[in-house]
Amino acid sequence: MEQINSKQDLINYFEKGCKKENQLSVGVEHEKFIFDNPTNQRVNFETVSKIFDFLEQFGWKPIKEKDYVIGLSREGQSITLEPGNQIELSGAKLNSVHLNCSESYKYLDELRKACKKLNLKMMSVSFDPFTKLENVPQTPKQRYEIMTKEMPKDGKLSLHMMYQTCGTQINLDYMSEKDFIKKFKLSSFLVPISTAIFANSPIVENSLSGYLSYRSKVWQNTSRAGLPKSFLEDMDFEKYTDFVINMPLLFVLKNSQYLNAEGKKFKDFMDGKLSILKNIKPNIVDFKNHLATIFTEVRLKEYIEIRSVDTCEWDCHCGSPAFYVGLLYGNLDSAYDIISKWEVSDILNAYIDAPKKGLNTIINNKSILEWGKIFLNLSKKGLEKRSLKNDSGKDESIFLSSVESIINNNKTKAEMTIEKFKNKKDLSFLYEKT
């Protein structure tokens, strides 16, 4: 196992993530709530196990922790469980949104068949609209036990994040440190915009929450999360490394056991100062595990993770990656020129406002609706420039239709949900048809 001997080893890890232009990939991750059909209750782990058993017929292979099957894998993809048994697809790294969309639809169709067989229902919203926190069934994963204990100490809504939210994540590559700096900064500046456009979590415990994206509100009050001011500056590999190693460890995984790090920082681990592992220093796997416990809106591994998008219906799993691919891969310089004129304070204020005000949030004297039109146009041009076409000769811009609908109608999915809820006083319409 590759040992970490210095901070430079960690910087080198990020440098190894640099890709050539023809290697740029797109990865998509998305989560779903599953409910029992007769009772409208969230599924427990026993039921999830039946879902996993059903999915194995489609070529998925089990992933085990102790005696439990806690996930599945297939062809670079994995299905995993969040703390409250939310089911997540972590997609493979693919070279076009066409392939991402096909991958998502194939998986969702398989999951739909499992739900039909087992009398379950899927829901594509980003905050559980029914279930109280104390009633959410838990996943028997070791690390979640530690997180449940430690996370609330530094974020009052941390447990709500763990057990009651679902999200969408887009993973994109960088070609150099210079390219990373621009893409990371642009992604950070776009957080309020994507929060507003893709807002889809207005209901909490059968009532209107007052927010369009309550998921975003929760994540803003979660330990180890948020949008640090430093992300809106020129974040390079060394600065990100400093940010990471000065973050407390949640746990250390050794000999298949998750050990509570008792508030020690990763830097302490590097210095051999963990009381639970005396004089033992970390390896690269320890570092990767630590990176995965940082829950900021944008995150760095060996690629950039964009984490500010609410979960939504099937078409959104194509629309949100297309929006970002068009900007970061197809039209980076034009998009970066726009945000480089914005004030950091404006973005931090918009970040707080966007979950509630949505498209009416103001950045640099314009509404996010107006900025949305501008960035949507840039994204479309970027995708057309990439000119990656499907078998019908259509480029990736076809996947922007769901985003165009939101922008052109000045109405988010959250606002449509609120209208239906006010008319029906019933949330059954949120369930997907199986």
Q: Does domain 26-234+299-418 have CATH number 3.30.590.20?
A: yes
| Residue-wise DSSP of 53-112 | HHHGGGT-EEEEETTEEEEEEETTEEEEE-TT--EEEE---BSSHHHHHHHHHHHHHHHH
**Average pLDDT over every residue of 362-384:** 99
Q: Which of 320, 61, 49, 22 is nearest to 198 (CA)?
A: 320
Structural domain boundaries in the chain: 26-234+299-418
Instruction: Identify the helix (H) or strand (E) that includes residue 318.
Output: helix 316-328
Q: Cβ distance 93 to 85 under 8 Å?
A: no
In the block, tokens 């087992």 appear at 118
In single-letter form, the type of residue at position 9 comes to D
What per-residue confidence (pLDDT) applies to 404? 98
pLDDT of 378 > 90? The answer is: yes
**Average pLDDT over every residue of 364-382:** 99
In the block, tokens 């929450």 appear at 209
Q: Please measure the distance between the N-terminal and C-terminal CA atoms of the chain and give it in whole angstroms.
A: 46
What interhelical angle do 332-339 and 316-328 show, nearest 10? 80
Confidence of residue 389 (pLDDT cuts 50, 70, 90): very high
| pTM of the predicted model as reported, rounded to 2 decimal places | 0.97
Distance of CA 122 to the CA centre of its chain: 18
Helices (H), 249-315: 266-270, 284-291
What per-residue confidence (pLDDT) applies to 359? 99
Distance of CA 221 to the CA centre of its chain: 16
> CA 252, CA 42: separation in Å to the nearest integer?
30
pLDDT of 309 > 90? The answer is: yes
**Average pLDDT over every residue of 394-403:** 98
Six-digit token pair at 198?
A: 């893709």
Structure confidence by residue, pLDDT tens digits, 205-263 = 999 999 999 999 999 999 999 999 999 999 999 999 999 999 999 999 988 899 998 88
Pairing of strands 298-300, 295-296: unpaired
Confidence of residue 277 (pLDDT cuts 50, 70, 90): confident
Confidence of residue 352 (pLDDT cuts 50, 70, 90): very high
Mean pLDDT of the chain: 96
Helix (H, G, I), strand (E, B) or coil at 26: strand
In the block, tokens 């726009």 appear at 338
Six-digit token pair at 102?
A: 């096909």
**% the chain with pLDDT above 90:** 91
pLDDT of 82 > 70? The answer is: yes
**Average pLDDT over every residue of 94-110:** 98
Q: Cβ distance 402 to 389 under 8 Å?
A: no
**Average pLDDT over every residue of 86-95:** 98
pLDDT of 434 > 80? The answer is: no
423, with CB counted inside 10 A (0-12, 13-18, 19+), is: exposed
> CA 347, CA 262: separation in Å to the nearest integer?
34
Confidence of residue 1 (pLDDT cuts 50, 70, 90): low
Pairing of strands 77-81, 26-36: unpaired
Q: How many CB atoms are closer than 10 A to CB 389? A: 13
What per-residue confidence (pLDDT) applies to 426? 80
> CA 133, CA 205: separation in Å to the nearest integer?
10
Pairing of strands 298-300, 304-310: antiparallel
Distance of CA 247 to the CA centre of its chain: 20
> CA 104, CA 371: separation in Å to the nearest integer?
28
Q: Which of 378, 416, 361, 375 is nearest to 201 (CA)?
A: 416
